[in-house]
Structure 1
Amino acid sequence: MAQSSDVNLLMTRSISPNDLLIRRLQSIHPVSNEEIRALRDLPLEIASLEPGHDIVRMGERPTQCCVVIEGFTCIYKLTSDGGRQIMAIHVPGDIPDIQSLHLGVMDFGLAPISSCTVGYIPHEKIQQVCDTYPRLGVALWRETLIDAAIYRDWMLNIGQREAFGRVAHLVCELMMRLKAVGLTEGSSFKFPVTQANLADAFGISSVHMSRVYGMLAKQGLLLVTRTHITVLDWDELQEAGDFDPTYLHLERNAPA
């Protein structure tokens, strides 16, 4: 499959698709030079996707995992009448469906929430690397544990914070996760995700989501455009979101 223009852009910046996965694992676990070479040798089948086309559907039995290379994906579940709750947002470098390596049937849907490029890796190739390099198996296990930690903080965020704090908290989280893989530009990061998608993550309406963005801008915390978010006051944003980065278990704990 031909590489997308997004992947070509990454290559011109000397960041290969495999390097994003390596950066993600390095941010949470030591990775040796030999292990880095093994990760670089993993075959990735590159695909470009748009919102509205699932990567994996609930009930499917996938034989491969995907690495997010460009854009953002979400894990979601549906109610019987079609209501959607976004359970997690994944950034480049993440393997959002790593659970499928050990769980035969998917109990959630995985979909793009922006224009997105992913790389598919067959389960057998991941298992071979883990068998040959057991520490990489530990790193991927640690990744799933951190996913669980993020779920717990999201539950607290939605259950106990007002919408203003929920949004501030997520922006802090995204800033740190993207910084860990080298995808921030100073105090800004690319985030072309619609307010309707974010509303499904926060359990609020699109209108309410728009108001919250406006409140954060009015208080001098954020500058939001259709494609980017700029953090104007990091310390105040953390306070507004009651944000403690411990649950991310990153080597680097604050944006520069």
Structure 2
Amino acid sequence: MIERHLIRIKARHSLSMDEEQAIRDLVPAPRHVPRNSVIVREGERLEASTLLLDGLLCRYKDMPDGKRQITQIHVAGDFADLHAFTLKRLEHNIMTLTDCTLSRVPHESIRILVEQQPRLGRLYWFSTNLDASMNREWELSLGQRSAAGRLAALFCELHYRLAMIEMDGERFSLGMNQAQLADALGMTAVHVNRTLRLLRDQKLLDYHRGEATILDLKGLETLAEFDPGYLYLDADPL
């Protein structure tokens, strides 16, 4: 089950046999969690970080008036909260979007790993920097892209991230209803519905009951003015 995580790392960096084995030894037995389950709650003390082995997660924050902002989507192979290793608590929640398989990696185990394998420490530091880069791109979408551009950019990003871990980036289950898409994109559910119809009519994207089919990737990239550079798909060895 750890293979997606290893593929994610190897897509950008080489791993020695010893380093790969150290990562395999790091990860405890997985557990299965149903969709729409909150697995980390804002403010709780954390002694482990969540490695997503299969499925999709999201990070989100709730406002006192009940409004919600989804701030990131995680795909298989991602550490959803590696930053909790140093922060020890999060200012947001983490929830499963689909049925998920995940492993909770103790922070003490991570500490030992990065002390014994300093290069792996740098690779995981890169991972948290990559999360920050993706968050900045989401901020750009919320502040500057049109509604159609926001939707297009989201699905372009997911395409590249899924393809990197050797999953189908053209057709995939996102598990998000239109209200959840609205929470991620700073839109109303009605506006999301209209925009999805527009993209379908333009033969760019079909989205039905949480199932996404990218019909024209280049068209989506043009609409969003999308540049995948922020994903660092060709990162240099560390």
TM-score by length of 2: 0.93
Q: CA RMSD in A?
A: 1.6
The answer on 1:229 being equivalent to 2:229 is: no
Identity %, equivalent residues: 37
Deviation at 1:82, TM superposition (A): 2.2
What residue is the counterpart of 1:101 in the other structure?
Answer: 85
Alignment partners' CA distance in 2, 1:78 and 1:190: 24
Gaps of 5+ in 1: 1-16
When residues 83 and 51 of structure 1 are mapped into structure 2, their CA distance, relative to the original with a 3 A threshold, is farther
Alignment of 1:1-256 (within 5 A): 17-184=1-168, 187-251=170-234
Letter in 2 for 1:233: D
Letter in 2 for 1:250: L
Deviation at 1:110, TM superposition (A): 0.9
Deviations 1:37-70 (A, max 9, x none): 1112223232222344311111011111111122
Alignment partners' CA distance in 1, 2:14 and 2:116: 16
Deviation at 1:102, TM superposition (A): 0.6
Query: 1:47 touches 1:118 (CA, 8 Å); kept in 2?
Result: yes
Letter in 2 for 1:114: T
TM-score by length of 1: 0.87
Q: How many residues align?
A: 235
Deviations 1:72-92 (A, max 9, x none): 111111212221111111111
Deviation at 1:113, TM superposition (A): 1.9
Gaps of 5+ in 2: none
When residues 92 and 60 of structure 1 are mapped into structure 2, their CA distance, relative to the original with a 3 A threshold, is same
Q: Secondary structure at the match of 2:2?
A: helix
Alignment partners' CA distance in 2, 1:175 and 1:183: 9
Query: 2:60 touches 2:70 (CA, 8 Å); kept in 1?
Result: yes
Query: 1:19 touches 1:40 (CA, 8 Å); kept in 2?
Result: no
Query: 1:28 touches 1:139 (CA, 8 Å); kept in 2?
Result: no
Q: Secondary structure at the match of 1:75?
A: strand
Letter in 1 for 2:215: L
Deviations 1:195-224 (A, max 9, x none): 221110011112211221111110011122
Letter in 2 for 1:46: P
Q: Secondary structure at the match of 1:217?
A: helix
Deviation at 1:94, TM superposition (A): 0.4
Deviation at 1:227, TM superposition (A): 4.6
